[in-house]
Structure 1
Amino acid sequence: MSLNTINFSGNSGFGEPLSLQIYKHILKKIIEGEFKAGDKIVEEDISKELNTSRAPVREALYLLQVDGIVERMPRRGTVVKSFTKSEIEEYNDVIIELIRVAVNYLSNKWNEEHKLKFKEYFNEVSTEYEKKNVIEYQIKLEQLLRYILSIANNKALIRFYEEANSILKVFAQVQWTIKTMENFHCKLKDFGAAMLESDFAKANKAIYETIKLGVK
């Protein structure tokens, strides 16, 4: 649900390829309204803005096209498609179901070691909440959710999560406020308590209610 600071050196601190960094840069502009539906995105302009070659920009635009965010139009080039709140909510619903499936997958693997590590990640999220640091909160939250997915150890879940989350991370960076974080964390505490109690039915209900608040 967070976006790390983009470093256009060809390699981010988290090993992201340059094309993905550019993808997020363009997506952020779309969500913020700098690029509106129907606007043309000029490959050369982006490469000059970011002081990079056109090849990774071209790849980033292709990734955006695959995700249905831009489209190639005859004699016009790459233009922005409409990006509605309902579409954001659809991506959010996908994330909810993936996390709930992951919780079900890990139910027979969950042990005291996992609980301790989960509690450690949850405490890091809570620390950023206390500091009212929205961006760092999002980063720690994503680490927590990724930990759930890692225990479930299902490659398909992880792949689908990455695809849906790439859009939601940028949305959260642009749209979340301290109030959003406060409402979200209030429900997240229920999820954390349920996981530590190994009450997976309660955890599934809590994560549904929690992540729903991420796009309110």
Structure 2
Amino acid sequence: MFGNTSNLTDGIYFGESLPQQIAKHILKKIIEGEIEAGEKIVEEDISKELNTSRAPVREALYLLQVDGIVERIPRRGTIVKPFSQKEIIEYNDVAIGLIQMGIEFSQGKWHAENKQSLRKHLEIATDECEKSNVMEYQKKAEQIFRYIFSIANNKALSRFFEEASHILMVFAQSQWNTETMENFHFRLKMSVEAILEDDFVKAKNEIHEALNRGVM
């Protein structure tokens, strides 16, 4: 079906439909800045790129529209949705609550091996921060949150966070700079270190500060 499926394999879960895979491919292009806010997404271009028909591409765009990533404009087509500051703050508040719940549910599950893995995730994110690599840092920071959810072992939290994080990643791609990243990472590091010390109240407070620094 696809001439080149390498772009579609990252983060795909077993059993995903073709439109879901295409939606993730388009989302990746948006997050990485290949398609910018307000820019039209041309179905024909995507279908040619992936060597598929336009029908699954159209369905993929509908899935992204449901998630609030794109919007359909009469007589113009589908564009990447620009987000207001109010919308970003609302999504950010949701993400904060979900991560704090993940930290809460993870209590009692941080044995030595899990802590070592969390420490490794932090080291990788710190390395990207020190390189001033904003885009790669965003991905590594999100992996820390995903790991916390995996320890919490709550699929519902992970699913809800996935939806909110898509919006925040699109926003961060266009709005973050090195200073934003460094301020965010300072608080994220303190949160992770608090988890490693089993101080979950502090960990939740620092997550609140970290994400607020990412959107203000």
Structure 2 counterpart of 1:191: 191
C-alpha distance in structure 1 between counterparts of 2:34 and 2:196, whole Å: 39
Residues 7-32 of structure 1: CA deviation (Å, up to 9, x unaligned): x9334351442232124435777984
Q: How does 1:170-189 map to 2 (within 5 A)?
A: 170-189=170-189
Structure 2 unaligned blocks of 5 or more: 13-20
Tell me whether 1:88 sits opposite 2:96 in the alignment: no
Amino acid at match of 2:146: R
Structure 2 counterpart of 1:160: 160
Percent of residue pairs identical: 54
Segment drifting more, 142-151 vs 54-63: 54-63
SS at match of 1:109: coil
C-alpha distance in structure 2 between counterparts of 1:190 and 1:164, whole Å: 23
Cα drift, residue 172 of structure 1: 1.9
Q: How does 1:30-45 map to 2 (within 5 A)?
A: 32-35=36-39, 42-44=42-44
Structure 2 counterpart of 1:68: 68
TM-score by structure 2 length?
Answer: 0.80
Amino acid at match of 1:140: K
TM-score by structure 1 length?
Answer: 0.80
Match of 1:10 among 1, 5, 26: 5
1:137–1:77 CA distance, 2 compared to 1 (3 A): closer
1:42–1:127 CA distance, 2 compared to 1 (3 A): closer
Structure 1 counterpart of 2:122: 122
C-alpha distance in structure 2 between counterparts of 1:108 and 1:83, whole Å: 38
Report the number of matched residues.
Answer: 204
Tell me whether 1:20 sits opposite 2:20 in the alignment: no
Amino acid at match of 1:199: D
Residues 89-111 of structure 1: CA deviation (Å, up to 9, x unaligned): 21111111111000000112222
Amino acid at match of 2:61: L
Structure 1 counterpart of 2:56: 56
Structure 2 counterpart of 1:207: 207
Structure 2 counterpart of 1:5: none
C-alpha distance in structure 2 between counterparts of 1:27 and 1:15, whole Å: 14
1:132–1:27 CA distance, 2 compared to 1 (3 A): closer
Amino acid at match of 1:10: T
C-alpha distance in structure 1 between counterparts of 2:93 and 2:174, whole Å: 19
